[in-house]
Amino acid sequence: MVEYAIQADGLTKSYGALTAVDHVDMRVPDGGIFGLLGPNGAGKTTIIKVLTGLSDITSGEASVAGFNVRTEPMRVKERIGWVAAEVILDDDFTAWENLWLQAKLQRLTDWKPRALELLRYFNLEDRRKDKVQTYSTGMRKKLEIALALLHQPRVIFMDEPTIGLDPGTRRMLWELITGVNREYGITILLTSHYIEEADALCGQISIIDHGKFVASGAPSELKSRVKADFIELETTEAVDEARLKAIPGVSEVRSQGKAWILRVASAEEVLPRIFQSLKTDGIRRINVEKPSLETVFLDLTGKRIDQAGSEIRDYRKFYASVRRARG
Ligand SMILES: Nc1ncnc2c1ncn2[C@@H]1O[C@H](COP(=O)(O)OP(=O)(O)O)[C@@H](O)[C@H]1O
Ligand SMILES: [Mg+2]
């Protein structure tokens, strides 16, 4: 019996002296949507790489869909799908040809009924004979998810599924992701550096920073742990820390780049005192964060989750290794 769709104990991945993933423990129940939330370089993609068998585990244990990633990598690969952060499709191919290629890569037989069903589900049926280069970014992403679902995986890994998309397309994808989880009963592990995304989609999340999980739980649970507001402040002239600390109601002061981040009991009470203490014209920018996953992250790491970039990933290599192993 599969107790957890994904389980990891002390999972560690090092690249030379750099520990990209540092003793991570995970328990993802079957059928859930689990989120890894963290800034660029935190180790999110590396976790996906080791769980999917794309990259070797340095130490620790992990199982996915009931099979040990280290000792039964092929059984794992047969049961998982992967959606990379970048849109990687053959532009000169139609949707149908991309599905055909995917079926080839995975040596699937009798894939056509499933492919048609997926095209219908993702509203791409009418465009299936058009080259992918004529698709919008949202349509490309939908096709990528369809490709990852073709072999009926139990678990699907989505790396930054909405990176670079406009807000409307992002929301459309959120609905599709929850739909896929519900309709197909598939466990989803997704990574994101978008706070609202993790909040909206995930039943459980782990916040990751420098390869370590700094907090895990349901988003609401994590938010209720922070009993403070945060004020981010940028001034036109240098202010010293002591002056900010002296403002009544400010419990902590941290600097981040050009800005200061003040932890306060209540932003409403402290804001007028800040304006009084620093001349209003000395304030370049002021931003209030009420309890959110952003403040959870701020509280735990002292930083904001910044906007992440993305790197090239070895999408083809992943499916090629499935094909090789199937002979
Ligand atoms: N193949 C690699 N070789 C060396 N270092 C790597 C490699 N892949 C990732 N890293 C490093 O590991 C850390 C985590 O990277 P990554 O998992 O891609 O982070 P995230 O996906 O959260 O942005 C980063 O410091 C990154 O530079
Ligand atoms: Mg990444």
Best residue among 36, 45, 205, 212 to mutate for probing ligand 1, ranked by most atoms within 8 Å of CB:
45
Contact (Cβ atoms closer than 8 angstroms) between residue 201 and residue 33: yes
Same domain flag for 50 and 169: yes
The residue whose CB lies within 8 Å of the most ligand 1 atoms, and thus the one to mutate among 14, 40, 45, 46, is 46
295 located within any domain:
no
Residue 242 inside a domain? The answer is yes
Report CA(310)–ligand 1 centroid distance (Å): 10
CATH number of the CATH domain containing 161: 3.40.50.300
* CATH, residue 235: 3.30.70.260
How many domains does the chain contain in total?
2
Q: How far is the CA of 308 from the centre of ligand 1 (A)?
A: 12
Boundaries of domain holding 128: 4-222+308-326
Is there a single domain that holds both residue 215 and residue 233?
no
Specify whether 126 is located in the same domain as 271: no
- Is residue 216 located within the same domain as residue 237? no
Q: How many CB atoms lie within 10 A of CB 217?
A: 15
Neighbours of 191 (CB within 10 A): 26
Residue 146 and residue 66 share a domain: yes
Distance between Cα 290 and ligand 1 center (Å) = 31
State the distance from the centre of ligand 2 to the C-alpha of 158, rounded, in angstroms: 10
Q: Is position 303 within any domain?
A: no
Whether 73 and 213 map to the same domain: the answer is yes
For each of the chain's 327 residues, which pLDDT tens digit applies?
Answer: 557 999 999 999 999 999 999 999 999 999 999 999 998 899 999 999 999 999 999 999 999 999 999 999 999 999 999 999 887 798 999 999 999 999 999 999 999 999 999 999 999 999 999 999 999 999 999 999 999 999 999 999 999 999 888 889 999 999 999 999 999 899 999 999 888 899 999 999 999 999 999 999 999 999 888 888 999 999 888 888 999 999 999 999 988 888 899 999 899 999 999 988 887 668 899 999 888 888 888 888 877 776 332 333 344 555 566 666 666
Burial of 21 (0-12, 13-18, 19+ CB in 10 A): buried
Task: Report the C-alpha gap between 243 and 278 in whole angstroms.
Answer: 9
Clarify whether residues 182 and 317 are in a common domain: yes
